[in-house]
């Protein structure tokens, strides 16, 4: 599976420039699209899923163009939108059986086999007889993922799989997605840095429709090497210091505070260097783009 995107633009009716010249290649593994709300994640995913036409540029899935060659892409695709509907009164099994019918799996034996397989893959087999309305958010999300897996897709696109879930459920969904990786391409979007750290082989950072980073999570962390600092401050100093620096965290240390600051050089005589994490690196890249006025260039 190979996805090639070149100079992709999307301008919506009304003029919002949601993608501004995205180029990237994705091969097997889990690709995490990270970016704040409104950065263009859903737009890019819908274009790759052949549900939305780009304004300019090309996107190909295994050499099939998303504009002119939709059918072969749809055959290898599983897509789960952020807000998908399930039938509350159906059981998990009935929901999936119905989805399998819509997927055109006509033979009842094959349908049964497909449903059994996706239930096993998503660890939902024991809940097959539960009604959808009795499931937690995380379990519903797993039913959605099961549904997207029905045609054994080589390309699985999942929009914000962890949004709205509690921390425990989020961890389960992350590990499920990591397990489902392997031979296929999974593209997931998130605005939560920890989702990427736990699941993605590669990460793309989108901000105001621009791709600011495209590499491994380890490389992402290393972009902040030597640029993260800790400063012990008095609570009274906080307000002034806050205005001067880019913060990545504040921690209480008794009656003093330890602040985590992003800066290319030692920002303060009391600042001590510390190891970067992914959150630092992400904030730094976003902040740099903001300061360069990236979002203002039409």
Binder among 22, 31, 34, 41 for ligand ADP (CB under 6 A)? 41
Q: Rounded to an integer, what distance in angstroms lies between the CA atom of residue 262 and that of residue 34?
A: 20
Q: Which does 251 bind (CB under 5 to 8 A by kind): Mg ion, ligand ADP, none?
A: none
Residue 249 phi/psi, 5° resolution? 170, 155
Q: Rounded to an integer, what distance in angstroms lies between the CA atom of residue 147 and that of residue 94?
A: 11
Q: Rounded to an integer, what distance in angstroms lies between the CA atom of residue 73 and that of residue 212?
A: 27
Taking the complex as a whole, how short is the minimal distance between the CB of residue 164 and ligand ADP, in angstroms?
A: 14
- Asked if 67 and 5 touch (Cβ cutoff 8 Å), the reply is no
Q: Which residue is nearest to Mg ion (CB)?
A: 42
Between 41 and 227, CB nearer to ligand ADP = 41
- Binding piece for ligand ADP, criterion CB under 6 A, among 32-40, 87-95, 139-147, 278-286: 32-40
Decide if residue 16 touches ligand ADP (CB under 6 A). yes
Helix, strand, coil distribution of the chain in percent, nearest 5: 35, 30, 35
- Asked if 142 and 119 touch (Cβ cutoff 8 Å), the reply is no
Between 33 and 135, CB nearer to Mg ion = 33
Classify burial at 240, counting beta carbons within 10 Å of its beta carbon; exposed 0-12, middle 13-18, buried 19 or more.
exposed
Q: How many CB atoms neighbour CB 65 within 10 A?
A: 14
- Binding piece for ligand ADP, criterion CB under 6 A, among 41-49, 98-106, 125-133, 180-188: 41-49
Between 190 and 199, CB nearer to ligand ADP = 190
Decide if residue 243 touches ligand ADP (CB under 6 A). no
Residues at the interface with Mg ion (CB under 5 A)? 41-42
- Asked if 39 and 192 touch (Cβ cutoff 8 Å), the reply is no
Contacting ligand ADP within 134-173 (CB under 6 A): none
Between 54 and 276, CB nearer to Mg ion = 54
Q: Which does 74 bind (CB under 5 to 8 A by kind): Mg ion, ligand ADP, none?
A: none
Taking the complex as a whole, how short is the minimal distance between the CB of residue 159 and Mg ion, in angstroms?
A: 6
Please give the residue ranges that form the binding site for ligand ADP (CB under 6 A): 12, 14, 16, 18, 35, 37-43
């Amino acid at each position: 599976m190979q996805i090639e995107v070149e100079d992709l633009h999307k301008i919506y009716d009304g003029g919002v420039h949601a993608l501004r010249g995205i180029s990237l290649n994705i091969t097997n593994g889990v690709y995490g699209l990270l970016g704040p709300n409104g950065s263009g994640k859903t737009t890019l995913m819908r274009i790759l899923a052949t549900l939305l036409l780009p304004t300019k540029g090309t996107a190909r899935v295994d050499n099939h163009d998303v504009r002119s060659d939709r059918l072969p892409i749809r055959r290898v695709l599983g897509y789960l939108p952020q807000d998908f509907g399930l039938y509350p009164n159906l059981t998990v099994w009935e929901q999936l059986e119905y989805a399998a019918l819509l997927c055109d799996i006509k033979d009842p034996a094959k349908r049964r086999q497909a449903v059994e397989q996706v239930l096993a893959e998503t660890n939902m087999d024991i809940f097959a007889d539960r009604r959808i309305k009795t499931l937690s958010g995380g379990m519903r999300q797993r039913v959605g993922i099961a549904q997207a897996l029905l045609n054994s897709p080589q390309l699985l696109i999942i929009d914000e799989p962890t949004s709205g879930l509690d921390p425990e459920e989020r961890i389960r969904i992350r590990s499920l997605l990591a397990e489902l990786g392997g031979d296929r391409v999974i593209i997931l979007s998130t605005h939560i840095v920890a989702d990427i750290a736990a699941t993605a082989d590669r990460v793309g950072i989108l901000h105001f429709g621009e791709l600011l980073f495209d590499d491994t999570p380890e490389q992402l962390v290393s972009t902040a090497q030597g640029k993260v600092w800790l400063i012990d401050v008095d609570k009274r100093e906080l307000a002034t210091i806050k205005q001067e620096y880019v913060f990545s965290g504040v921690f209480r240390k008794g009656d003093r505070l330890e602040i985590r600051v992003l800066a290319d050089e030692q920002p303060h005589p009391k600042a001590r260097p510390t190891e970067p994490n992914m959150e630092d690196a992400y904030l730094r890249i976003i902040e740099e783009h903001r300061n360069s006025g990236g979002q203002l260039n039409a």
